[in-house]
Amino acid sequence: MSTELLTQTHGKTLVMTLSGPANRNALSPQVHAAGIEALNMAESNPDIGAVVITGAGGHFCSGGDLQRLRHQRAHDLAGQAAALRSFHDWVLALRAFPKPVLAAVEGHASGAGVSLALACDAVCATSEARFHLSHVRAGLSPDGGLSVHLVRALGRQRAWMAMALGDTHTAADWQAWGLVHSLCEPGQALSRALTVTEQLSAQAPSAIAAMKELCNSADNRLAEHLNDELQQFMVTLAKPEAGAAIEAFFQRQPA
């Protein structure tokens, strides 16, 4: 079954839950569209002061659906480009959203799931959370703003090496590098994120929105960079190496 995006209100916070335990909450164009729609509704609702994105089943998000990517690579590259563009539209919507957006990360975040977490304003993660920079393991380049966000936080050399080697990082690593706002015990990521959003919702909304816009404008090339990532992703997807890496992934999976 494909992932659904479930929404529920906790106080003044809208919680968006990626729910697809069978594939560890893999993303899809339907999820992207639902995410944008939920943000539009939350922006116009004065009773919503913040948004939290989390995952069901003890994990955050496994990234793109490799089964779907495998099919699109063979039969519909144009459709895959449109799907990636819809993901990038969601990333841009998250950054343009005038209210705080937090990621609550339990378990594993991989590939585009890492990109989604970094598109949020802050990340709350459990001590057992793991962030997998897994694009290269499928023969692919990063998407969703991953490369620009890592370079800003880590510097070009460390960011490039981490992506090129397909590194896995702990939440403690990411907190030390300024990519995770706060750590908590397993099972407490959503609770911690809701505590933070409660504090943020108590602040002046106009000031919060202004601060977010100023932080975004400090480097306003994200939209152009997302287009660069899309172009490179489609080039690498069409290469034989990507096909071999994706097939190797499925050959390693149990029936």
Left (φ > 0), alpha (ψ -120 to 50) or beta: where does 113 sit? alpha
**Domain extent for 85:** 4-252
What single letter denotes the amino acid at residue 180?
V
- Confidence (pLDDT) at 242: 95
Closest CA to 174 of 128, 137, 234, 242: 128
- Confidence (pLDDT) at 255: 40
Q: What's the structural domain count of the chain?
A: 1
- Confidence (pLDDT) at 21: 87
CATH number of the domain within which 97 lies:
3.90.226.10
pTM for the model: 0.94
Distance CA 201, CA 188 (A): 20
> pLDDT by residue for the chain (255 residues), tens digit each?
689 999 999 999 999 999 998 899 999 999 999 999 999 999 999 999 999 999 999 999 999 999 999 999 999 999 999 999 999 999 999 999 999 999 999 999 999 999 999 999 999 999 999 999 999 999 999 999 999 999 999 999 999 999 999 999 999 999 999 999 999 999 999 999 999 999 999 999 999 999 999 998 877 788 899 999 999 999 999 999 999 999 998 888 654
Three-state SS across 43-110?
HCCCCCCEEEEEECCCCCECCECHHHHHHHHHHCHHHHHHHHHHHHHHHHHHHHCCCCEEEEECCEEE
